[in-house]
Amino acid sequence: AYYLELDGDYVWISMDAFTTDASKIGVPCLSSECGDGMMPSIFQQQLNNINVVSNVAGLSGDGVSGNIEFWPYNYSPGSTGSFGTNDANTHSGNFGSMQIHLSLGRTVFAFNHFNVGEVADLGIGNSNGVGFGSDWSL
């Protein structure tokens, strides 16, 4: 499960396991010492049995599906043409994505731009005009 509290908003989310290796569920970093110790952790897949408790409107729910976008690299907008639930991992660069989305196009939380040493992007729910999509990117 993950918990994030930001400026009075909060979200707690659990889901079926997306890996059996607990060392891979943290913030994805570029070092091979993160994750399994051999290569950076990358997850872009469907999630099942998501349970969300939040004070942000439209986020709470039980047993829903969604997807995960965890990687330490740059990414571009996916097939939708904007950053959101279907980003394309470039497998290069150092921007970073740690995002979980619900299947209805709703961002649960997003933590981006964390490998560069600059100001990171962090948000709960859809960004609603902040950045270039619903996932707080850029």
Q: What is the model's pLDDT at position 118?
A: 83
Secondary structure letter of residue 83 according to DSSP: B
pLDDT in tens, 55-71: 999 899 999 999 999 99
Secondary structure letter of residue 23 according to DSSP: G
pLDDT in tens, 94-106: 999 999 999 878 9
pLDDT in tens, 76-122: 987 777 888 889 999 999 999 999 999 878 999 999 999 887 889 99
Q: Which of 120, 127, 131, 78 is nearest to 95 (CA)?
A: 120
Report whether 54 contacts 10 (CB < 8 A).
Answer: yes
Q: Which of 66, 65, 70 is nearest to 87 (CA)?
A: 70
The pair of structure tokens assigned to 6 is 């930001």
Secondary structure letter of residue 101 according to DSSP: E
Q: What is the model's pLDDT at position 133?
A: 75
Gap between the Cα atoms of 107 and 59, Å rounded: 8
- pTM of the entire structure? 0.90
- Coil, helix or strand at residue 94: coil
